[in-house]
Amino acid sequence: MNAINEVKKAQRGDKEALLQLIMADKDSYYRLAYSYMRNEADAMDALEDMIVKLYEKIGQLKKEESFYSWSKTILVNQCKLALRKNKRLKPLEDLQEQNKGQIAGLSEYRQVDEQLHLQALMSHLNDDQREAIRLKYYHDLDYGTIAAFTRVSQGTVKSRIFQGLKKLRTLYGRDEDE
């Protein structure tokens, strides 16, 4: 596979090969960084930090086919580190509230209103549940990848998602059997 060859080149110190690998999945990297950082500038900073870290640590990658999950784990860790450094976590509600005035049309307004309601409900979850649910349903990641990102077992990830969804159903006023 071409990506595996690029990973091997990157492991030998080829910076261009590393950049090609990153650019091949740049949208996914950006969405992931943005979901943590909540603004474009901080997301881009986290991506830059990830690239530096990847260049420094590419030799430690044991399986070339694991490059993308490995690199996304590094990106998540860089985001978390930046958030801890800055001691600030911008909730999605703030971002959507800023954009609310820019939306035209009733259906778009309702969509934003529903998103705000969902985010308000999500704020009742603990950080671990909220993170697991976002990674699973906003980024469509599998349990194994989420477990690697968060450094917990797959069972813990499943439990966090199950308990978080159960709490959301209760808060939303729906019966669990629905």
pLDDT single digits (tens) 11-68: 998 889 998 999 999 999 999 998 888 888 888 999 999 998 999 999 899 999 999 9
Residue with tokens 């959507």: 96
First to last CA, the chain: 44
Q: So what CATH class is 92-172?
A: mainly alpha
CA distances from 170 to 46, 91, 134, 161, 165 (A): 35, 22, 18, 14, 9
For 64-94, how does the pLDDT look when each residue is reduced to its tens digit (9 = 90+)? 999 999 999 999 999 988 888 876 444 544 4
Instruction: Supply the mean pLDDT for the chain.
Output: 81
Fold observed for domain 2-86: Rna Polymerase Sigma Factor; Chain: A (1.10.1740)
Burial class of residue 157 (count of CB atoms within 10 Å of its CB; 0-12, 13-18, 19+): buried
d(CA 57, CA 41): 24
Alpha helix positions (H), 38-153: 40-57, 67-86, 92-100, 106-122, 127-133, 143-150
What residues contact 3, with CB distance under 8 A and at least 6 apart? Answer: 21, 24, 64, 67
With 70 as the cut, is the pLDDT of residue 103 above it?
no
Return residue ranges of the chain for CATH 1.10.1740.10. Answer: 2-86
Which residue would you say has higher pLDDT here, 142 or 153? 153
For 19-30, how does the pLDDT look when each residue is reduced to its tens digit (9 = 90+)? 899 999 999 999
Return residue ranges of the chain for CATH 1.10.10.10. Answer: 92-172
